[in-house]
Amino acid sequence: MPKINGNEIRPGNVLEHNGGLWAAVKVDHVKPGKGGAFAQVEMRNLRNGSKLNERFRSADKVERVRLEQKDQQFLYEDSGMLVLMDTETYEQVQLPAELLGERRPFLQDGMMVVVEYHEDEALNASLPQKVICKVVETEPVVKGQTAANSFKPAILDNGVKVSVPPFVGQDEDIVVNTETMEYVERA
């Protein structure tokens, strides 16, 4: 594993620290008037989701971990476990549904999911950034009501509530950003 200096840590880096795997969420480089500069790093544990704030000086050495990313196709869900198929080896793997967190409702049959592995242990899974969903419930379209920045609540076919522009009606397909869980455009 490559070791990096404390001042080389960037958001998104995965570090091995105190016997655990941590993802750097936020990094602030601080140069106080007295004493040496340091990096204040907010980290999230990849195994249990706990958070930690740690201070690294430039002389501190930290082990940076490279995660292996694999494209896998979602097949079905079975008692809280997602069954995915590796597109290269056609091997099926089962991963806990909690790996997706609040993005779980956007998972659709046959969807490609990027799973990050560290020594055969799945640590993270990410969906495509944009998915198409159908609006099942929203207020009716009112002619002439096109004021800027006025959004109305809508419920999607997967049960997720989002805000949509006034011109979007019921039974319309829309594109939703899975990271921000917000309306992007009509499909």
Q: What are residue 47's phi and psi, to 5 degrees? A: -90, -40
pLDDT in tens, 43-98: 988 888 889 999 999 889 999 988 899 999 999 988 889 999 998 899 999 988 88
**DSSP-assigned letters across all residues of 158-180:** TS-EEEE-TT--TT-EEEEETTT
Which CATH topology does 66-124 take? OB fold (Dihydrolipoamide Acetyltransferase, E2P) (2.40.50)
Cα–Cα distances in angstroms (integers) from residue 127 to residues 23, 29, 86, 178, in the given order: 18, 31, 15, 7
Is the fold of 1-63 the same as that of 66-124?
no
Let me know: does 63 contact 2? Beta carbons within 8 Å. yes
Determine the CATH number of domain 1-63. Answer: 2.30.30.30
Instruction: Given CATH 1.10.3720.10, say whether it is the number of domain 128-184.
Output: no
Per the confidence metrics, is the pTM higher than 0.75?
no
Let me know: does 155 contact 174? Beta carbons within 8 Å. no
Q: For residue 50, what pLDDT is reported?
A: 87
